[in-house]
Each structure stands twice: as C-alpha cells, then as structure tokens.
Structure 1
C-alpha cells in the first residue's frame, strides 16, 4: 500500500537564506502520509513510534511543490514499517518572473526515511 500527498511550500515557511525551508518540513509531510496510510490499512490514525533512518538529500525551497510518499514495507501484529520519499515536483523560477515556476522532470528527491508506526490491536 502506498499513499502520496502533494503540497505547495509557502514563502512564509522559509527560515534560511536563499528561501530554504528546514528539513522538518518534509518530516511533517511524512507524518501526514503515514496517518492516511494507517487509516486506509487499519481504520485508525496510528501513532508514529520513530525513525530508524532519515536522509536529507537536497534542499526544500519556498515556492516548491513537494510530493511525499509512504509505502508499507513490513507488517507486524501492531507495527508497520514504512519507507518515505519526498520529491520536489515543481520549483519556482524567479529568473523568468516573480511568479514563474517549472515542472521538474525528473523530480528532485529531497528527503528519504524509514520509520515505524503502531496501530491498535484489531477488534472483531
């Protein structure tokens, strides 16, 4: 099972020079896709237990459109191991104009992670 969300990164989220956004932005999106994944598979939002691995591969910038995907890779009795990937699918291009942007093909992978969510024991 895989779930994907897309989100525009507003300029109000830029914290650093060059319109950079902190790495936690992508992790927040991972929490959202993990929640939907748990609802779809277990009928419950579940709880995020933790990450076993996180890798920041490229920057997220204000004006980006980010796509975050969560895929279940292991199912335990109550735990679900999930792989995450966040990609920039569109990026602002201020050199062409103040509201110009480009669709990126291929997208830029910005963050990958592996984590564990826990869901309640299913009741009959």
Structure 2
C-alpha cells in the first residue's frame, strides 16, 4: 500500500466489537422499553418487538463475551456475518412500517448494523495472516 498507513486490524477489531456491543445494548434496551410504540409503528405484535429488544441486549453480552474469550479473528468473523444477516432482517422489517419516517428510521438502523459489519471486515483485512 503506497502512501497509506497499514490498518491495525487488532485495534480496529477490538474497538469495532466493543462499540457493536454497546450499540446493541443501548438499542436493544430502548426497543424493549418502547416496544409498544415501536410495535404500533411497525405493525408487529408488542411481545415480538419486546423479545427482539431483549434478544439484542443478550446479543450485546455475547459479543462482549466473544471479545474476551475467543480469538479475535473468530469473534470478528462470527459477529460480521451476524451483522450482515441482522442488517438484511432489519431492512426487511422496514417493509411493514406504517409511515415513511418509520421506514427511514428502521433503514438507518440497518445501515448502522451494516457499517459495523464493514468495520469488522476492515479489521479482519488488517490482521496478520493466520498461520
């Protein structure tokens, strides 16, 4: 790479996973706490939306656990693929939204999640080759 500094994949990866876990904890808690209005806007059952919020909080804990316990490369790959799937699922949920504003808000979350997957891919590229 001429003219550019090499990315520290380990540092980027650790930060990406930490921020991903924090984002999921905050977002999941907000979804669980405000399941009623969110469910109404998305035309989904309240218990389903609340369960999704709780599951996202649990996922946040799992991401933090993976960061602490798994080899970084494995944790990044697992979370990156999960984020790709989650971004697609969240994007699909926007189809059920009642208003354009809600569609845009849900799509913004999908983009956020996709960007975490991109940051994890960048971190993986910056890691030394597995030997």
TM-score (norm 1): 0.28
Q: Specify which structure has the bigger relative contact order, considering alpha-carbon pairs within 8 angstroms and separated by 6 or more residues.
A: 2
Instruction: Choose between structure 1 and 2: higher helix proportion.
Output: 2
TM-score (norm 2): 0.27
